[in-house]
């Protein structure tokens, strides 16, 4: 599952350092829209099943505009007891942040859509942070992404984001969507999903239902309306 074990000592370190402001011209190969998506725990490399469903739904809504897809490069590990697990999440946040910043610089006209599922949703949420999470020494981590990068991120869509109680249970820092991203962020939690909600109902089945319960289409509607 998307557990962020021990992230309090490491996770915010993935909020990468600043890069130069976006350039004035774009590479002609830059897509009109790009989805940057972090898969959930245990899914094979790529955007995962939920991410793939979201990408397909969004593609059907953007007409003739070109769509690029970037799968966040991180293990999405389920080995939560491994002392190196927190660093794998940090590495993913760093990879996502670096890619978003590089795209903003090199493809300033590309509208980016940041997303994630489960562990990946928490990862993507941390990417938007405006400050180092509480409990993490600021001196030990790089600063958040530059504020101007937010102008290039059209929407943030998160599926099954671990709740505050869930994060606290595993000693992860609180997750706060940055103010610049809040108006364009959609967090979806399926009924009965114990990871993002109160649990009960279908339990883990609910947590894996986003690709078939209509919520990836709902998220695509939201994202396309913000492009």
Residues annotated catalytic, as ranges: 118, 193, 207
Closest CA to 130 of 178, 184, 176, 181: 178
β-strand partners of 158 = 116, 187
Tokens representing 64 are: 């003739």
Residues in the chain: 227
Closest CA to 92 of 122, 134, 65: 122
């Amino acid at each position: 599952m998307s557990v962020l074990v021990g992230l309090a000592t490491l996770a915010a370190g993935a909020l990468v350092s600043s890069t130069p402001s976006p350039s004035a011209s774009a590479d002609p190969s830059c897509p009109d829209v790009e989805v940057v998506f972090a898969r959930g725990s245990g899914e094979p490399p790529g955007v995962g099943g939920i991410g793939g469903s979201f990408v397909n739904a969004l593609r059907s809504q953007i007409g003739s505009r070109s769509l690029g897809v970037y799968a966040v490069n991180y293990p999405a590990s389920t080995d939560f007891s491994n002392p190196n697990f927190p660093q794998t999440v940090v590495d993913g946040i760093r990879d996502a942040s670096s890619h978003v910043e590089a795209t903003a610089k090199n493809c300033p006209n590309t509208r980016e859509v940041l997303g994630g599922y489960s562990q990946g949703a928490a990862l993507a949420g941390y990417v938007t942070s405006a400050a180092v999470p509480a409990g993490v020494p600021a001196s030990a981590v790089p600063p958040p992404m530059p504020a101007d990068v937010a102008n290039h991120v059209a929407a943030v869509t998160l599926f099954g984001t671990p709740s505050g109680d869930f994060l606290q249970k595993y000693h992860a820092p609180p997750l706060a969507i940055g103010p610049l991203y809040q108006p364009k962020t959609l967090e979806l939690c399926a009924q009965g999903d114990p990871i993002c909600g109160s649990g009960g109902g279908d339990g883990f089945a609910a947590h894996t239902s986003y690709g078939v319960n209509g919520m990836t289409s709902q998220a695509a509607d939201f994202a396309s309306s913000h492009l």
